Amino acid sequence: MMLSVRDLKVSFRTDDGLVRAIDGVSFDLEEGEILGVVGESGSGKTVSLLAVMGLITDPNAVIEGSIRYKGRELVGLPARELRRLRGNEIAMIFQDPMTALTPVYTIGWQIAEQIQAHQRLSRSAALDRVEELLAEVNFPNPREAMSRYPHQLSGGMRQRAVIAMALSCNPALLVADEPTTALDVTVQAGILDLVRKLRATHNSAVVFITHDMGVVSELADRVMVMYAGRIVERGSRSELFNDPSHPYTRALLGSIPPLTGDKPRRLPAIPGSPPSLLRLPKGCAFGPRCPARYEPCDAGKPDLAGGSHAAACFRVAQA
């Protein structure tokens, strides 16, 4: 097992008391596997992966549970040790390529900086490597692109540069946080292709965070659906999309307008909106919006139950 997360809890101390952003998340990731993490804003999909990266710098954050990377416990690991992993073995791609790069340095400089932080390489050797990387992510003219500043590149090109940077030390694990949300669909298609290609060539495991079910269904081997800080359903791609069992997953899939075939006059919509973490309902967090809600749902929070395909729902457990 490459990555094994057990009962991860992330809370933030606020004026209104302790807010639990992540409430007992557990998952595993194999080498070369693409895990899709789906959820809406506030579902905790980003926070849980930032915790894995050790990138939650808020002094008011409390992180509990266990994150094992190749058997090594990351929670409580000294910053120095964590830094050696970050950018080297575990790399991350962020949502907005417009702001993810330091505006005052060239692309080449920023990628070389990461290489030199982890490998003993001369400047020129590092720059040669940068050129290779940019060619790998389909920059038509890598030598020339290296001397460009971020603002001189289009959004798609910047995201490619960010990906090249993430790949610079051949990471075993790549965490991508909504890397295509800010991009046009035509550009997104190219980036998704690239991620698939990278998995094939580098055998990296990928955690792909997104709110777009379509993207997940095209890319992921396994899928994890999150709602209000908990995993509500997880399974292989075909399990999840052919046979969704949690009412939230079903409703979410149902509310996406189809691109082909008949148009429904009205879309099956989920009422209400995602709950605020400050005021979570007592029982199941999805309860107030759930069409299948019954008495047990108000009493307690359902646990994730089942084998490889599991759902956190009293109805599903009962059936």
Within 245-304, which residues bind other proteins (CB under 8 A)?
Answer: 251-253, 255-260, 263-271, 273-274, 289
Distance between CA atoms of 37 and 45, rounded to whole angstroms?
7
Q: How many CA atoms lie within 13 A of 127 on its CB side?
A: 11
In the complex, least distance from residue 116 CB atom to other proteins, rounded to whole angstroms: 10
Residue 88 tokens read as: 């080297």
- Which one of the spans 2-10, 21-29, 52-60, 63-71 is the region binding other proteins (CB under 8 A)? 52-60
| Residue 302 burial (10 A CB sphere; 0-12, 13-18, 19+) | buried
Q: Which is nearer to other proteins, 143 or 305 (CB)?
A: 143
CA distances from 108 to 9, 95, 124, 161 (A): 38, 20, 11, 9
| By the rule CB under 8 A, 92 interacts with other proteins | yes
Distance between CA atoms of 11 and 171, rounded to whole angstroms?
28
- Which one of the spans 68-76, 84-92, 128-136, 303-311 is the region binding other proteins (CB under 8 A)? 84-92
Residues 178-197 that bind other proteins (CB under 8 A): 184-190, 192-193
| By the rule CB under 8 A, 170 interacts with other proteins | no
Residue 204 tokens read as: 């990296």
- Which one of the spans 60-68, 81-89, 122-130, 304-312 is the region binding other proteins (CB under 8 A)? 81-89
Taking the CA atoms of 194, 198, 201 and 206 in sequence, report the sign of the dihedral they define: negative
| By the rule CB under 8 A, 71 interacts with other proteins | no
CA distances from 162 to 11, 93, 96, 230 (A): 29, 6, 10, 29
Q: Which is nearer to other proteins, 11 or 95 (CB)?
A: 95
Residue 267 tokens read as: 């879309």
CB atoms within 10 A of CB 232: 28
CA distances from 278 to 9, 16, 289 (A): 16, 8, 17
| By the rule CB under 8 A, 140 interacts with other proteins | yes
Q: Which is nearer to other proteins, 14 or 273 (CB)?
A: 273
In the complex, least distance from residue 223 CB atom to other proteins, rounded to whole angstroms: 11
Strand-by-strand arrangement of the 90-93 sheet: 90-93, 173-177, 205-210, 34-38, 222-227, 230-236, 310-311, 305-306
Q: Which is nearer to other proteins, 44 or 156 (CB)?
A: 156
What's at 261, amino acid-wise?
A: G
| By the rule CB under 8 A, 69 interacts with other proteins | no
- Which one of the spans 3-11, 76-84, 195-203, 228-236 is the region binding other proteins (CB under 8 A)? 76-84
In the complex, least distance from residue 214 CB atom to other proteins, rounded to whole angstroms: 3
| By the rule CB under 8 A, 118 interacts with other proteins | yes
Distance between CA atoms of 70 and 68, rounded to whole angstroms?
6
| By the rule CB under 8 A, 87 interacts with other proteins | yes
Options 18, 104, 200, 305; binder of other proteins; rule CB under 8 A: 104
- Which one of the spans 9-17, 69-77, 85-93, 300-308 is the region binding other proteins (CB under 8 A)? 85-93
Q: Which is nearer to other proteins, 4 or 217 (CB)?
A: 217
Q: Which is nearer to other proteins, 92 or 310 (CB)?
A: 92
- Which one of the spans 4-12, 14-22, 64-72, 144-152 is the region binding other proteins (CB under 8 A)? 144-152
